[in-house]
Structure 1
C-alpha cells in the first residue's frame, strides 16, 4: 500500500501528500491578530504558520471545509486559492467564491490523478441546528485502490456524522480530526468542533490506525489543547494511535 504524509502547518492547515498528489487543508497563512467575524465579534489568532504559503510547493488541490470563518480561510488563504488548480468545498463556498471552487456534495466523489478519489462527507459545525448560524461545512475522505483511506473531518462536532463515515469507509487508516472544542458565545458556548473525548470516541468509531489532530491550537476560542488530547486518548486506551504533531512536523504512515 502507498503511504500518506501530513505536514502540520498550524490551526486547520496541513500539507497532505498521497500517491504523488499534494493537497492542503483549510489554508490559513496570516499573522497573529484580531480577525472580525460578523459586525460585533472577532476571533483572535495567537500564532502564525510554521511555513509560509510559498513553501508548500506545487499543490494539486485544496480541501476547504468552509470559507465563512477566518480561522479556516483567512486573507492569505483566499489569495492562495488562486494558485491551486482545484478547490473542493461546499455549495455555499462556490456561491460566494465563484468558479474557483468546485462544490462537492455529501457522498459525491471527485477524481485526482490516476487513483486518488476524494469524497465529500457530512460535517456539523456545532450542536444540532447549527447550520442556520454557523453555515455549511464539509469533510472529506481520500481513498483509492491500494491507497490508505484518510478522513479529514473539517469543523465537525457530530459523532453521528462520524458514524456515517465509518459505515461507508471504515476502518480508516488515518483520521485527521479537527478538535479543540472550539467555543464562542454562539449556542451558549456549546462546542463547535470535537472535544478531546469526542475525538477519542471518533477514533474508536472509525477504527482509525492513526489520528492526526488539527485545529486545536493557535486561536483563542479553542477550549481544549494538546494536553487534553493526550489525556483523553490515554483514558480511552488509544494513546498509541495519537500522532500529535508540533507545527512543521511531519507524520508518515
Structure 2
C-alpha cells in the first residue's frame, strides 16, 4: 500500500507526492483577472489564483499535461516552469509546441517514469472527448493518465483529463479498474454553444462511478474560472441524489493543503 499526498493548487493543477516522486498535473499559475481565448469564439476569465505559487513548489520530477492548447490547463506561468521539470508527458500533437522536449502519447500508448531509488511509474494515456460527439477537430486532442507502480493495493491512480462521459472512456476505465480517480468536472459551457458541455457534470460522474466502482474520487477542475457551469455546490446537490455507495466515494481536497490517500 502506498501513501500518496495530493495538494490541490487550483483548477486541474495538483501536486502528487509519494515515495520520493513529485508529479504535477496541468500547471496553471497565472494570477486571476485575465480572459483567455479557447478558439472558435469561446473564451473564459480566470477568477481565482493558485493556492500555491509556482516559486513555492520545489523540484518537480514530471508534469502530466492533458493538453497544451487551453489556458485553464496550461497558462503562461505554467509553461514557464516546464523547463525545470524532469519530464513532461502530454499529447502526441501537443508535444512539439512546448518549450522543452516532451513525451507525446496518443490514447492507448504508454511510457515509464524511472529514477534511482524510486518505484517505476507506468503512465498509460487514456481517451478523452472534450465536448460533444464529433467535436475533436474543434477542441483538439486531449488525454488522461492512468498511473501504475509497484505496491498499489487498490488499483491505479487515474487522472481523467478534460472529458465528457462517453463509451470509450467507460470501457477504458473498466479495463483499468482505478482505485483512486482525480476527476475533472465543472460541466464546462460557453454562451456561444448553449447547453453543450465540454467536461463532465456530476450526473455523468455518478454514471461513471457506478460503472467502475473506484475506492476514492477526488474532484478537481470545477472552480476558479468563468466557464465552469457546475461548481462544488451543484456537484454536491447531485451527489445527494445519487446512491449512497457513489456519493460516499467523493473526497474534497482542501486548496493548498496536502491530503493523504492510501492507494
Aligned to 1:83: 84
Who is 1:32 aligned against? 32
| 2:214 counterpart residue number | 208
**Which of these residues, 161, 184, 200, is aligned with residue 178 of structure 1?**
184
Match in the other structure for 1:54: 55
Q: CA separation in 1, counterparts of 2:32 and 2:3? A: 33
Q: Is the 8 A contact 2:3 2:260 kept in 1?
A: yes
Are the equivalent residues in 2 in contact too, given 1:66–1:136 (CA < 8 A)?
Answer: yes
TM-score (norm 1): 0.93
Q: How large is the Cα RMSD of the aligned pairs?
A: 1.7
Q: Is the 8 A contact 2:82 2:100 kept in 1?
A: no
State whether residues 91 and 104 of structure 2, in contact with CA within 8 Å, keep that contact through their aligned partners in structure 1: yes
Deviation at 1:188, TM superposition (A): 3.7
Query: d(CA) in 2 for partners of 1:234 and 1:30?
Result: 34
Counterpart contact for 1:21–1:112, Cα < 8 Å: no
Number of residues of Structure 1 aligned to a counterpart in Structure 2 = 252
Partner of 1:220: helix, strand, or coil? coil
Partner of 2:202: 196
- Call closer, same or farther: CA 1:39–1:120 in 2, change over 3 Å: closer
CA contact (8 A) 2:41 2:192 kept: no
Unpaired runs of 5+ in structure 1? none
The answer to whether the 8 Å contact 1:140/1:152 transfers is yes
Distance 1:7 1:99 in 2: 25
TM superposition score normalised by structure 2: 0.90
Q: 1:43 to 1:98 in 2, by over 3 A?
A: same
2:63–2:89 Cα contact (<8 Å) kept: yes
Gaps of 5+ in 2: none
Which residue of 1 is the match for residue 228 of structure 2? 222
The CA deviation at 1:176 is 0.5
